[in-house]
A = this chain, B = another copy of it.
Amino acid sequence: MIGGWEDIRAEVLRRIRVRDWPPGDLIPTEEALAIEFGCARATVNRALRELAEAGVLERRRKAGTRVAMLPIRKATLDIPVIRQEIEARGQTHAFRLLQQHEGPPPVPVASRLGLPATARLIYLETLHLADGQPFVLETRWLNPAVLPAPLPDFAALSANEWLVTHIAYATGDIAFSAQTATAHEATIMGLSPHAALFITERTTWTAEAPITFVRLAHAPGYRVQTMV
């Protein structure tokens, strides 16, 4: 019994998997499928649209709907606030503000934010602890020109958290990479030299102006996981 759009999505995916409709193949039109499944075309549209967003189908007006030749998998990751991430593991979160000062950013940071190297930004270096053990080192540059005054005491309230409640829902981009720990990082986080760190870098923007660039250096063992 085929009921709602989720059943239709499952049935279409099944036909693709058993190679009833192999990669590159043109599948029936929405109207034809609606007749076959005995439902409205809007219901078929919902199912096929979800599969297209997942990269399984390619749809073009007039040309029809094809099974994607090279399935670019779309993996979706959750990027939570650090405190939330630690507490979700059943550990207690704490943090220490290691440095705070104002001045011009390093050139790579300035260029990422699209600001001149002479801009004055606030630099924050914060170590986050999970059950007292170093979890992630956060190095952040903030653009005070676009932040709501007054700024809080970042030794008492993590910048990571303050931004969520004050600059929520801005746009930005995220990048992941692996880097060898610097001597500074190894000392602060209590790691052996040359430890491999998982690096998350995020740039955040409002409509017009850059807000912040943050680099998170995660202690060894950190994993980012997803379900496809």
Contact = CB atoms under 8 A, between A and B. Distances in A.
B174 A226 contact: yes
Interface of A: 13, 16-17, 23, 55-56, 70-81, 84, 164-165, 168-180, 194-199, 206, 218, 220-228
Contacts of A71: 164, 168-169
Contact of A177 (B80, B168, B174, B198): B198
A179 B171 CA distance: 30
Copies of this chain, tallied across the complex: 2
Contacts of A180: 194-196
A223 B73 contact: no
Nearest to A177: B223
A10 to B, nearest CB: 11
Contacts of A80: 70, 72-73
Given A80-B70, A81-B70, A179 B165 contact: no
